[in-house]
A and B are shown apart, each in its own frame.
Chain A
């Protein structure tokens, strides 16, 4: 990748975050991508994160959203955004390759457990569906409460009932 920083050698970068913040964000993103991405993408995490951060650097930090948000927070958000864009782009490329290579038989393969879970999720009443979906995504009770602006007690109730219904639904589908 061509390295074209937007800064001249002796010119201060008036709109980027301190160097340590970059190193920090890089490490955090590397760990997150390694943990949550499919193995084929996780193996590319160095390239993905590197590409993303360089894009952020080239693009510049702007004023961090009206100049009020801290630069480091803004850097994390920007870096996350570019990493996810890179992941999506890579996934779409892979999907195209898979689709081209797949035989009609493999495309007609029976739905997996993940598919059944999603089908059952759709049948849940909305509040329970929200709580269970976020639980399955890995959110803690406090994180779900923050995202949905609920009380934690409500999250727990919706999650308890929702998981129970989900299991019943999966059981009716013969999912073990």
Chain B
């Protein structure tokens, strides 16, 4: 009689039992920190012991692992982007710009770095944001939604990202030289009426540095 191989063991170990639910679980953020190596060995030990007996926390551990790996993967791809600085790529702090593959470029941006290893570009991100919305309060007509923002001294160009309230990317515009942008009506065609969309703007500086705005909202008829 042979014992299961490692893969089989892992698979059987991970199978969930819907009747076994515990109520003494560590907070999810503690699991995150344990996976990231941010807790003391004793704290990690307690959490690992718990995850061995708790289906939900076992799932949480694996999801945290997966998110961390995706983040690291982003960091590797992002090193292909010349405008972004390269920095630390430690777990959960990718430290570099995101994207290189075409699809990723459409969706991703932004070098994120470990705070201890921020380069000049990242330092700009941490400074007081200067890009603010100049849109007036109120609802805009669907066929003429214009986004306006404050100019950033020295900025060479701007990029705008528009998201739905469900966080799907509706439109992206690159290389803008003005500080306003009209959302193409067709980008909003799938949105309910009325709708609220999110948007942000990114300014590119002469040295390749990038400054992001925060997220703004705009109501659409």
> Hey, which bits of chain A sit against chain B, CB under 8 A?
3, 5, 7-24, 26-29, 31-33, 35-38, 50, 53, 67-73, 76-77, 80-85, 87-88, 91-92, 94-95, 98-99, 102, 107, 112-114, 117-118, 121-122, 126, 129-130, 133-139, 143, 146-149, 163, 166-168, 170-171, 174-176
Is A68 in contact with B115, judged by CB distance below 8 angstroms?
yes
Complex Cα distance, B12 from A99, in Å, reads: 22
Taking the closest CB of chain A, its distance from the CB of B40, in whole angstroms, is 8
User: Which of A26, A102, A174 lies in contact with B19, CB distance below 8 A?
Assistant: A102
Complex contacts, A69 vs chain B, CB 8 Å: 93, 115
Closest B residue to A176 by CB, please name it: B1
Would you list the 8 A-B pairs with minimal beta carbon distance, nearest first? A84-B28, A167-B3, A32-B66, A146-B37, A19-B200, A72-B112, A95-B21, A136-B13
Interface bin, chain B:
35 or more
Q: Write out the residue numbers on chain B whose beta carbons fall within 8 Å of the beta carbon of A10.
A: 133-138, 216
Question: B166 to chain A: which residues have CB within 8 Å?
Answer: 50
Distance, CA A165 to CA B93, complexed state (A): 36
A20 and B109 contact, Cβ closer than 8 Å, known pairs A15-B214, A32-B63: yes
CA distance A138 to B166 in the complex (A): 31
**Contacts A95-B18, A136-B10 hold; do A32 and B67 have CB atoms under 8 A apart?**
yes
Given contacts A31-B70, A171-B3, whether A126 and B45 have CB atoms under 8 Å apart is yes
Which residues of B have CB within 8 Å of A163? 6, 9
Judge whether B154 is part of the interface by a CB distance below 8 angstroms: no
Chain A residues with CB below 8 A from B63, complex form: 29, 32-33, 36-37, 80, 83-84
Which residues of A are found within 8 Å of B25, using beta-carbon distances? 88
Please tell me if the beta carbons of A81 and B71 are within 8 angstroms of each other in the complex.
Answer: no
| CB-CB nearest in chain A for B202 | A18
Beta-carbon nearest neighbor of A32 in chain B: B66
Residues of A within 8 A of B67 (CB): 28-29, 32, 76, 80
For A166, give its contact among B9, B15, B98 (CB under 8 Å): B9
Within 8 Å by CB of A37, from B23, B35, B59, lies: B59
Given contacts A32-B63, A130-B45, A143-B65, 4 further A-B contacts (CB under 8 A): A24-B107, A36-B14, A118-B52, A121-B52
- Check if B181 is an interface residue, CB within 8 A of chain A: no
Contact with A along B91-115 (1 / 0, CB 8 A): 1111000100000000111101111
B202 CB to nearest A CB, Å: 7
- The reply to whether B12 and A114 form a contact with Cβ atoms under 8 Å apart is yes
Q: Is B182 an interface residue (CB 8 A)?
A: no
Closest Cβ neighbor of B64 among chain A residues = A80
In-complex Cβ contact of A98 among B18, B44, B112 (8 A): B18
Q: Are B215 and A84 in contact (CB under 8 A)?
A: no
Set of chain A residues within 8 Å of B138, measured between Cβ atoms = 9-10
A159, chain B: closest CB distance, angstroms: 9
